[in-house]
Amino acid sequence: MRTQWMAALVGVLSALVVLAVAEVVAVFVSASSSPFFAVGQLAIDLAPGWLKETMIGLFGTGDKIALFVILGIVVVAFAALAGVIERRRKPLGVAVLVLFSAIAVVAVQTRPEASALWAFPTVLGMIAGVLVLRSGIGRLGAWVDAPASASAGMRRRQFLTFAGVTGAVAVIAAVGARAMNASTAAVTAIRQAITLPAPATAAPAIPAGTSLDVEGITTLVTPNEQFYRIDVALQVPQIDPDSWQLKITGLVDTEVTIGYAELLALPLTEHVTTIACVSNEVGGGLIGNATWLGYPIRELLAKAGPQAGADMVLSSGPDGFSAGTPIEALTDPDREALLAVGMNGEPLPTEHGFPARMIVPGLFGYVSATKWVTEMRVTRFADAQGYWTPRGWDALGPVVTESRIDVPLSGQTVASGTVAIAGVAWAPHTGIAGVEVRIDDGAWQPATLAAPISDDTWVQWVLQWPATSGSHTIAVRATDKSGYTQTQQEAPPAPSGATGWDTITVTVEG
């Protein structure tokens, strides 16, 4: 039994060496050629929609951390298995290590902008890992198979020294290389030094009465650090704005290329917009409201001149994500679709798309909100698809009218008397006309709406409820300005957004 555990240790050390050597070599090749992140990215790309929904449902915005933990467990398990197999039947353990390295090479090669050279870090790591596996198993055999004597003790020390030194060097090298590959500090410093220009068209002042004085209700404008983040990037792209460019290509009369400095020099527009993720469950938090600064996408498209028959813009960036946006939504003069550079008065945070991203009111993010965007290809829905469409999601992605109860919390116990039931409702680009609340099986009661910022943002609402003792069920529904009222019929987020009424249960005492 002890021998098996030691063999498993050697297998884990060999896998650690593969990753460490690959990380070090990636410093000189490309940060994106790191195999661990590439494998995780491939896992995201290949995951079926139901699994994605399960991960987000279980872990929310921590889904990527959960993925890393799961990947780490899988790597450790199979690396340990490789060590045990190599001890029992050489060279089958080496074959397992080579197989996993080959999968990593494939994952690296599927990344956007990958070249054949990107396989080099993983291949060198694999070679180093195989050498460690064979050498470690050989030293373990020399120790375990030696007759009881002084030489056995020496061979034991040799094996343990080999394992300790190899592990320590691999960890130090991997951590150091990962820090260099991340390059986060450099881009952060560049971003912090940027002063955004004043908007040529500023957002109107937020009217009085837009924010209700109710403890626990969602803030009207979501702070950047609290804004939800859902995307397919395991590594947040670190892009030097001096080298960033956006290209408008495809079915256009003239291809357009614009750099960051040129973009900032244009007359920018400021607009408050609520955006949401299609994965948001009824009552969920994958939604936020911010003040965005950017240039109207319709003006950029006008410079390119979309050709007749084009009905979609396929936007993409370095993370492998793409969004197919209806061209009519991007050219509509009444819709503030922006190529955004600012968020709540500061340059976009890196995790939210720095240097530039798309913001389109009224459409779910998976068809409109491309972060780190570098290309907009004018095309047709018949000829191209965004990242999530072939995975079973609706191609057009209009935001579903929804409402949410923020207070009281479900399961909370409150005192009898007047209790504020409050929350937010949204129908971006359509606007909310009314919100109603139902207590138990009673009649629907109209809630009081705060003054909306605009039809592109969510609105706060409140109902003062004379609470009586006992257990009560509270439901909410919204009606938008088109006349649509939320349906009671429950549907999951896939393929076009969750439906149903947000419903909670509270206990009233006294």
Which residues, including other chains, have CB under 8 Å from residue 498's CB and lie 6 or more apart? 280, 281, 282, 284, 400, 402, 490, 491, 492
Tell me which fold the domain 402-509 belongs to.
Answer: Immunoglobulin-like (2.60.40)
- Report the alpha-carbon distance of residue 215 to residue 414 in Å, rounded: 14
What pairs with residue 465 in β-bridges? 419
Structure-token match 């009217």, residue found: 207
pLDDT tens-digit map of 21-38? 998 888 778 777 888 778
> Are the beta carbons of 383 and 365 closer than 8 angstroms?
no
pLDDT tens-digit map of 168-205? 998 888 888 777 666 666 788 899 899 999 999 999 98
Per-residue pLDDT, averaged over 478-502, amounts to: 97
DSSP 329-384: HHH-TTS--EEEEEETTEEPPGGGTTT-EEE-TTB-GGGT--SS--EEEEE-TTT-
Question: What angle separates helix 2-29 from helix 63-88, to the nearest 10 degrees?
Answer: 120
Structure-token pair, residue 490: 């429950």
Helix (H) or strand (E) holding 82: helix 63-88
Structure-token match 């398990």, residue found: 77
- Report the alpha-carbon distance of residue 385 to residue 368 in Å, rounded: 13
pLDDT tens-digit map of 110-124? 887 788 889 999 999
Domain with CATH 3.90.420.10 in the chain: 224-391
Structure-token pair, residue 428: 């971006």
Beta 346-347 vs 375-379: how paired, if at all? unpaired
At residue 408, does pLDDT exceed 80? Answer: yes
408 cis-preceded (ω within 30 degrees of 0) = yes
Per-residue pLDDT, averaged over 451-480, amounts to: 97
- Report the alpha-carbon distance of residue 245 to residue 499 in Å, rounded: 39
pLDDT tens-digit map of 190-244? 998 999 999 999 999 898 899 999 999 999 999 999 999 999 987 788 899 999 9
Whether pTM > 0.85 for this model: the answer is no
Which residues, including other chains, have CB under 8 Å from residue 314's CB and lie 6 or more apart? 250, 322, 323, 324, 325, 376, 377, 379, 384, 386
Determine whether domain 224-391 maps to CATH 3.90.420.10.
yes
Domain with CATH 2.60.40.650 in the chain: 402-509
